[in-house]
C-alpha cells in the first residue's frame, strides 16, 4: 500500500496513526495534524500552493477565467470573487470563500501552536 508514497509521506502517515492510537481516536484530527507538523518539522505557508489540489480527487487545479465559471458557481460568488480554479478530472470549481478562510486560519493556528506560540 505504501509503495507509491515518498518517505516523508510514509512518515506522516505513521505519525498520524501513532497520534490517533495515543489519543484513542479512530480518525485523524487536529491533534494528529499537530503531531505531523512537529514530527516532520514542517513550515507551512498558507500563501503557498497548499490549496492547489482538488479536494475530491487530489488532481492539480488550474486557473480559469472568471467569464468561464458564470454558469457553474452561485451568482453571489460570481459577483464577489475574481479568481477561480478548476479541476479537469472531476469538473469542480473552487474560489477563495469562507471555507478557504477557515482552513487558512486553522493551518495558521496549527503552525503557531507547534512553534510554541499561542494564537
Gap between the Cα atoms of 12 and 37, Å rounded: 8
Structural domains of the chain in order of their starting residue, each with its CATH number: 1-42 (no CATH), 47-119 (2.20.25)
The pLDDT value given to residue 116: 47
| pTM score | 0.63
**pLDDT tens column, 39-56:** 777 777 766 777 888 888
Given the C-alpha cell 507551512, which residue does it identify?
A: 44
Amino acid at each position: 500500500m505504501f509503495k507509491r508514497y515518498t518517505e516523508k509521506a510514509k512518515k506522516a502517515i505513521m505519525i498520524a496513526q501513532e497520534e490517533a492510537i495515543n489519543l484513542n481516536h479512530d480518525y485523524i484530527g487536529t491533534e494528529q495534524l499537530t503531531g505531523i507538523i512537529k514530527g516532520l518539522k514542517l513550515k507551512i505557508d498558507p500563501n503557498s500552493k497548499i490549496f492547489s489540489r482538488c479536494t475530491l480527487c487530489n488532481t492539480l487545479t488550474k486557473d480559469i477565467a472568471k467569464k468561464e465559471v458564470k454558469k457553474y458557481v452561485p451568482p453571489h460568488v460570481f459577483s464577489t470573487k475574481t479568481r477561480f480554479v478548476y479541476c479537469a478530472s472531476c469538473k469542480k470549481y473552487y474560489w477563495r470563500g469562507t471555507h478557504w478562510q477557515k482552513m487558512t486560519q486553522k493551518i495558521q493556528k496549527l503552525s503557531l501552536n507547534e512553534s510554541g506560540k499561542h494564537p
